[in-house]
């Protein structure tokens, strides 16, 4: 249960504390400066851009969520800048639900909010954002978070409206939305904690005022509102499930992300002679790939894993501070996020010298066989978890044959056993799209136990990881980690491996590396 609110408390939620830099600021404040800096500027362009390519797709998504929630006010924030250190911030990335429903990607504005206002026929949908400051205001030159002197030109309300093909209003008008907040209002809570506090306060305040009116007295009293936010969580779940099946625009963006990622892998291979001479060669690998991400996309879709030697046995190795030594293999798990925020997620395991050893090849080929088995199951009408089961059957068979299991492969595969999972504790697949682990709030019966449908995009990524100190593993296998990960599009008739152009069979990987390195 939630806390108590007094009906006489109508104060708005406090604004986030300003990050002060007054003790080191040299921003001019004289009257002469203020008068001079506000004059002598050329007229700003008011040219309206055409609606972006994804606008009609975003409109269709909004229509679907509108039909799910008749009579409800829906609030989907973009989120705010997140502090990195003192008065510096991380690069802004809008919440994925906001991006999905607006089509606004890497050029989206911090603090923007998408609102579905219920009507008798559906919803009126509006974006609220902080419009650009006039050059006669001190915000223009003195505000380092939004001032154009600091961060560059910002669009007008009319330009954003034309670009997104959506009604747009200034953020100050959002106060009227807060005054209308009621028990039927739903919110993406995690997107913007400050705005969530405002909405929760408005829920309590507006409910108290409604009860006061109904009570017909001026006497103060308390109201109590359910604080478990179940309805908000259901709303977020439905927004997540809305992304399970991709539309044509999303699929096109996934292809772009995969193609850019392929170029990043090629860059890494070409640079291996340099990377392998540095004491922190993994950092160089990461830097080379990230350069391609910034050149051909927005950024990386997640922290690059450049895991060489025994680091390849650490599933999410992102420190990337080790050497890249001849004779080892390097597990490179990386994906480029394009400007629309759609990301690839691909892994290849590369022999540093360009040639696998006999044991490395044996492990690699077993993982590739597991991936191929999973790929054969990935068809419309199959159950998502069966993709994983197919891969694990192969993993169990090989680890048993190599003498690593205390039981047979068949016994290990029984639900009560699972000894083979020691060498692959992660799942084989996850949905992919705006988030690298997309649709994460979807219900289990829509995800793990869900039926595979055309338009779904997910990974297939089996692996084998033999820790260097694992005494259940023959010595020759210890310290070898292999993962092969591809991005799969389900079609009407089967599945397409979007990343098939990046070599994945051991002999093809060796030939690819030889060609790129001359």
The closest alpha carbon to 170, from 119, 198, 197, 134, belongs to: 134
- Write out the chain's pLDDT in tens, 518 residues: 343 333 334 444 445 555 556 666 677 889 999 889 989 999 888 899 999 999 999 999 999 999 999 999 999 999 999 999 988 899 999 999 999 999 999 999 999 999 999 999 999 999 999 988 888 888 888 888 888 888 888 899 999 999 999 999 999 999 999 999 999 999 999 999 999 999 999 998 887 777 777 766 554 544 444 444 799 999 999 999 999 999 999 999 999 999 999 999 999 999 999 999 999 999 999 999 999 999 999 999 999 999 999 999 999 999 999 999 999 999 999 999 999 999 999 999 999 999 999 999 999 999 999 999 999 999 999 999 999 999 999 999 999 999 999 999 999 999 999 999 999 999 999 999 999 999 999 999 999 999 999 999 999 999 999 999 999 999 999 999 999 999 999 999 999 999 999 999 999 999 999 999 98
Query: What span, in angstroms and rounded, lies between the C-alpha atoms of 378 and 322?
Result: 36
pLDDT for the residue 15 = 54
pLDDT for the residue 257 = 98
pLDDT for the residue 212 = 74
Strand 123-129 versus strand 168-170 pairing type: parallel
pTM: 0.92
- Do residues 103 and 58 touch, judged by C-beta distance below 8 A? yes
What count of residues does the chain have?
518
Outline where 181-309 has alpha helix (H).
193-215, 230-241, 248-275, 281-296
Angle between helices 248-275 and 281-296 (to 10 degrees): 150
What would the two tokens of residue 302 be?
């997640």
Query: What span, in angstroms and rounded, lies between the C-alpha atoms of 504 and 495?
Result: 17
Question: What CATH architecture applies to the domain 248-516?
Answer: Alpha-Beta Complex (3.90)
Strands (E) across 103-245 are located at 113-118, 123-129, 168-170, 185-187, 222-224
* Structure-token match 């390849």, residue found: 312
Strands (E) across 45-202 are located at 73-77, 83-85, 88-89, 113-118, 123-129, 168-170, 185-187
What CATH homologous superfamily does 4-20+28-38+46-241 map to?
Answer: Creatinase/prolidase N-terminal domain (3.40.350.10)
Q: H/E element holding 487?
A: strand 486-490
Tell me how far the alpha carbon of residue 146 is from its chain's centroid. 24
Alpha-carbon torsion 401, 403, 409, 413, what sign? negative
Parse the chain into domains and list their residue ranges.
Answer: 4-20+28-38+46-241, 248-516
């Amino acid at each position: 249960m939630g806390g108590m609110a007094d009906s006489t408390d109508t104060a708005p939620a406090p604004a986030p504390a300003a990050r002060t830099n007054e003790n080191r600021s040299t921003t001019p404040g004289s009257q002469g400066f203020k008068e001079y800096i506000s004059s002598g500027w050329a007229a700003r362009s008011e040219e309206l851009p055409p609606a972006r390519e994804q606008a009609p797709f975003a409109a269709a998504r909004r229509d679907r969520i509108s039909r799910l929630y008749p009579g409800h006010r829906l609030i989907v924030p973009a989120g705010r800048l997140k502090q990195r250190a003192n008065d510096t911030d991380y690069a802004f990335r809008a919440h994925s639900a906001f991006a999905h429903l607006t089509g606004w990607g890497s050029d989206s504005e911090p603090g923007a909010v998408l609102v579905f206002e219920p009507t008798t026929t559906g919803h009126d949908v509006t974006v609220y954002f902080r419009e650009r400051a006039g050059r006669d205001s001190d915000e223009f030159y003195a505000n380092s978070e939004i001032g154009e002197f600091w961060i560059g030109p910002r669009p007008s309300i009319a330009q954003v409206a034309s670009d997104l093909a959506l009604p747009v209003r200034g953020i100050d008008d959002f106060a009227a939305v807060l005054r209308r907040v009621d028990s039927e209002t739903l919110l993406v809570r995690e997107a913007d904690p400050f705005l969530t506090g405002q909405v929760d306060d408005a829920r309590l305040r507006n409910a108290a005022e409604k009860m006061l009116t109904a009570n017909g007295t001026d006497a103060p009293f308390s109201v109590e509102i359910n604080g478990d936010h179940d309805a908000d969580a259901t709303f977020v779940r439905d927004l997540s499930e809305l992304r399970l099946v991709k539309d044509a625009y999303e699929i096109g963006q996934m292809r772009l992300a995969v193609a850019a990622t392929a170029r990043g892998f090629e860059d890494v291979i070409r640079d291996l002679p340099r990377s392998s001479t540095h004491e922190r060669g993994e950092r160089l690998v990461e830097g080379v790939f990230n350069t391609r991400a910034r050149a051909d996309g927005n950024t990386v879709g997640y922290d690059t894993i450049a895991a060489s030697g025994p680091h390849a046995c650490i599933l999410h190795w992102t420190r990337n501070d080790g050497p890249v030594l001849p004779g080892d293999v390097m597990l490179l798990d990386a994906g480029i996020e394009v400007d629309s925020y759609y990301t690839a997620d691909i892994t290849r395991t590369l022999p540093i010298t360009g040639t696998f050893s006999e044991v490395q090849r044996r492990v690699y080929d077993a993982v590739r066989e597991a991936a191929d088995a999973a790929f054969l199951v990935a068809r419309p009408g199959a159950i998502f978890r069966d993709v994983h089961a197919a891969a694990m059957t192969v993993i169990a068979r090989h680890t048993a044959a190599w003498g690593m299991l205390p039981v047979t492969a068949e016994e290990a595969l029984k639900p009560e056993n699972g000894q083979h999972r020691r060498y692959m504790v992660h799942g084989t697949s996850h949905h992919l799209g705006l988030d690298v682990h997309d649709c994460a709030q979807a219900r289990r019966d829509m995800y793990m136990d869900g039926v595979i449908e055309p338009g779904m995009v997910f990974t297939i990524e089996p692996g084998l990881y033999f820790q260097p100190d694992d005494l259940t593993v023959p010595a020759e296998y210890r310290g070898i980690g292999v993962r092969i990960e591809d991005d799969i599009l389900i079609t009407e008739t089967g599945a397409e491996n979007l990343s098939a152009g990046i070599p994945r069979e051991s002999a093809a990987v060796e030939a690819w590396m030889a060609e790129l390195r001359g």
